[in-house]
């Protein structure tokens, strides 16, 4: 969120680290994050669109990848998927203006007070396996996982996120890609599923 990067020097430093990290692709999650008043935010789709434009300008974003605050909505190619009605017109407007709007297939939930992950690494691994096997993702053999940065504030070497990535990679069945590469078209039923992490 541009408002946080602009207001907090530490977050500006983090943002520069993200920008310079080839493993991280920064997308647009709005400037204000709706001030966490989602119902009010989505009443005026033009204001939502302008909030994304402002964020793109402030952060000098190089792409038009977007995720709506508080909504799991998709606008990719000719596909439109909504979790609720509120925000769907805003998603349409972003799409009309060239944005690719992403939701997620699986959210790694967390305790809002402590930031601690609720599901274990083992839980997440088995849900990922199940969603892909049962073809319950937006795109077959592709999965987008929503993670929240407050979940992983301890030493990176010890975080559950790193453990999950290492477990998935150790199977030889998974490939990690940037959202700009989504979806990876896989023709073979034995091909590697693709995992996309979102913060």
Same domain? 79 vs 162? no
Same domain? 111 vs 86? no
Same domain? 86 vs 111? no
DSSP 8-state symbol, 139: S
**Which residue range forms the structural domain that includes residue 167?**
106-198
Instruction: Report which of 110, 113, 104, 103 is spatially closest to residue 161, judged by C-alpha positions.
Output: 110
Same domain? 148 vs 184? yes
Helices (H), the chain: 2-7, 9-19, 38-41, 45-59, 88-96, 121-133, 160-170
CA angle 184, 188, 192 (to 5 degrees): 55
Contacts of 84 (CB under 8 A, 6+ apart): 71
Q: Which of 101, 116, 144 is at the close of a domain?
A: 101
Average pLDDT over every residue of 178-185:
93
pLDDT confidence tier of residue 186, bands split at 50, 70 and 90: low
Residue 35: the pLDDT is 94
Q: Is the dihedral of CA 15, 94, 83, 129 positive or negative?
A: negative
Same domain? 81 vs 110? no
Q: Which of 48, 67, 101 is at the close of a domain?
A: 101
Domain count, the chain: 2
Residue 189: the pLDDT is 47
Same domain? 15 vs 92? yes
Same domain? 48 vs 84? yes
Same domain? 43 vs 6? yes
pLDDT > 70 fraction of the chain, expressed in percent and rounded: 89
Residue 125: the pLDDT is 98
Kindly report, residue by residue over 40-92, the tens digit of the pLDDT: 999 999 999 999 999 999 999 999 999 999 999 999 999 999 999 999 999 99
Average pLDDT over every residue of 146-151:
87
Same domain? 71 vs 113? no
What whole-number distance in Å separates Cα of residue 198 and Cα of residue 182?
A: 12
Q: Which of 35-44, 98-107, 136-145, 182-191 has the lowest mean pLDDT?
A: 182-191
Q: Which of 68, 101, 134 is at the close of a domain?
A: 101
Same domain? 159 vs 127? yes
Residue 146: the pLDDT is 96
Residue 110 has pLDDT above 70, yes or no: yes
- Structure tokens belonging to residue 140: 């077959």
- Stated pTM of the model: 0.88
């Amino acid at each position: 969120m541009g408002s946080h990067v602009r207001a907090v020097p530490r977050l500006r430093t983090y943002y520069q680290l993200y920008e310079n990290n080839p493993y991280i692709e920064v997308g647009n999650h709005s400037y204000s994050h709706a001030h966490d008043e989602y119902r009010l935010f989505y009443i005026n789709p033009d204001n939502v669109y302008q909030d994304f434009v402002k964020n793109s300008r402030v952060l000098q974003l190089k792409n038009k990848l977007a995720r709506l605050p508080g909504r799991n909505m998709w606008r990719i190619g000719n596909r439109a998927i909504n979790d609720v009605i509120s925000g769907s017109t805003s998603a349409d407007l972003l799409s009309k203006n060239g944005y690719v709007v992403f939701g997620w297939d699986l959210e790694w939930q967390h305790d809002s007070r402590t930031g601690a992950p609720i599901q274990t690494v083992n839980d997440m691994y088995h849900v990922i396996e199940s969603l892909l096997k049962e073809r319950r993702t937006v795109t077959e053999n592709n999965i987008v996982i929503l993670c929240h940065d407050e979940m992983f504030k301890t030493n990176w070497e010890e975080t559950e996120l790193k453990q999950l990535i290492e477990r998935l990679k150790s199977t030889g069945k998974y490939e990690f890609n940037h959202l700009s590469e989504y979806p990876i078209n896989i023709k073979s039923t034995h091909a590697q599923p693709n995992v996309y992490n979102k913060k």
